[in-house]
Amino acid sequence: IAISEVNKHALAIRNSIHPQKVDNIGDITCANWDHISDLDLFSGGFPCQPFSALGSMKGFKDPRVKAMYAMRDMILDTLPRYVLLENVGGILHSKNREALNRFLSSFYPSYLPPTFITSNPNDLGWFQSRTRVFICLSRIDQPPWEPRVTKTYIQTWRDVVDSNPDPKHFFKGKPKSRIQIVVSENSKKFECITRRGITAHCGRASWIQHGDGFRSPTTKELFHLFGYDPIPKIEMGGLISRSSFSMAMGNSWHVGHVANLLK
């Protein structure tokens, strides 16, 4: 029915993947949603930097949490039947718990108490490793949503790797001490990938052997890593560069993981 997106690169990628164009209400903190009603599902991930170990770790004192409260306002105004919110595991840290409980209590009495799902796609059989916390809400007049995540299949690096990688679709790196994780046929998971991690040759991200150095995943490999099936066709160039694609994918949900959760 509608989306809220402020990043033009992410929006271009979404529009390239999804032929159906929908209303973009823009910045959630100043959006107008008066025309939106009768929603089955509201889903969204609010900024993770306040809660991530790689972010500010200021928790609810970080000004970016205003997006979180704006999402709550839209939910309470439109009262969707079900709600799926997402963030990193750090949001459940003890120092954030009191403020998180206050935030969630503001959904009462319109919604039943939330269900928390902490899950990693790698635990369910996908190659990508990325632990996430999902907060699931059911409107008080709806059957309670009791989401379950189940192991689906075993995805290996052989299922993911691009046999003929296009240099326009990946970043190259020279051997550096910070590059610690290099995938191979025997690898069991691919660590979280972000654009900043690629630029910094982050030791927490997985790299791929390439010639006498290393490379990041290609566009095709990233789609595989994030559970897309079939693999979308996407035209690189213009707004969709390999940099913007890596950044958008690094901040996106694992679609196979979330499809499993919603099933």
Residues with catalytic roles: 48
Element (H, E) at 96: helix 94-105
Spell out the residues 6+ positions from residue 235 whose beta carbon is closer than 8 angstroms to its own.
16
- Say how far apart CA 57 and CA 108 lie, in whole Å: 27
Helices 66-78 and 94-105 cross at an angle (nearest 10°) of 30
Q: HEC states along 139-192?
A: ECCCCCCCCCCCCCCCCCHHHHCCCCCCHHHCCEECCCCCCCEEECCCCCCECC
CA separation for the pair 32, 48 (Å, rounded): 24
Three-class secondary structure of residue 207 per DSSP? strand
**Amino acid, res. 143:** P
The number of residues making up the chain comes to 263
